[in-house]
Amino acid sequence: MKEKEKEVAKKEFNFNQVKNEMVQHFDRSIDVFKDELKKMRTGRATVALIEDIKVDYYNNLTPLKQVATLTTPDATTILVNPWDKGLIKSIEKAIVSSGLGFGVSTDGNVVRVTIPPLTEERKKEIVKLLHSKAEEAKVAIRNVRHKYLEEVRDAKKEAHISEDLEKKYEQEIDKITHEYLDKIEKLTKEKEKEIMEV
């Protein structure tokens, strides 16, 4: 009877399920990192730089992207076209007080945000921030890896899987982990190039 119970227990550990779950966690970490990258300033205008700035919308702090249409007519300008023209003053104030150092002017019914070129010093600061965000993303990936390695080791301890399978699964987890760490490295290099070349 004991042997039969062991056999049943062995079937309960589903590595594919574990692997899929782990990959979903990894993908979420990469998505968070990509969002961080979008908000990082290069010399080029992008709506991601200001879309989350909170605007006083009838005593509610609301992200800019929820009260206006944001466009980039050229590489150094973001146009903010509020759906409610009464918001123009609030929008101007919110962008100025965000501390991002952008030029703000009103042009009829739109707010024009000018992105000044980055100084060499500012570029270096942004690259430093980029590397710290990349490190955070790598730590998140390694933490996920650790969690799933533990699951595999526990399965081995509880005799759900053999030692050979434990080794095989650990190697597979490490292989996937390295692929994701490489993705972060690649995204970081691309962003750094983008920051430095403008």
Q: What H or E segment, with its residue span, contains residue 60? A: strand 60-63
* Strand 103-107 versus strand 54-57 pairing type: unpaired
Cβ–Cβ < 8 Å for 169, 149? no
The whole-chain average pLDDT of the chain stands at: 88
- Map out the domains of the chain with their CATH numbers: 7-39+119-197 (1.10.132.20), 47-114 (3.30.1360.40)
* Strand 68-74 versus strand 54-57 pairing type: unpaired
Residue 111: beta bridge partners? 80, 106
Map tokens 């010399």 to a residue.
43
Q: Give burial (CB, 10 Å; 0-12/13-18/19+) of 98.
A: middle
pLDDT digits (tens, 9 = 90+) for 106-157: 988 899 999 888 888 888 888 998 999 999 999 999 999 999 999 999 988 8
Q: Which pLDDT does position 55 carry in this prediction?
A: 93
Q: Which pLDDT does position 9 carry in this prediction?
A: 42
Token pair, residue 14, equals 């589903």
pLDDT digits (tens, 9 = 90+) for 17-63: 999 999 999 999 999 999 888 888 777 788 888 898 999 888 889 99
pTM of the model as a whole: 0.71
pLDDT digits (tens, 9 = 90+) for 81-103: 999 988 999 999 999 888 777 88
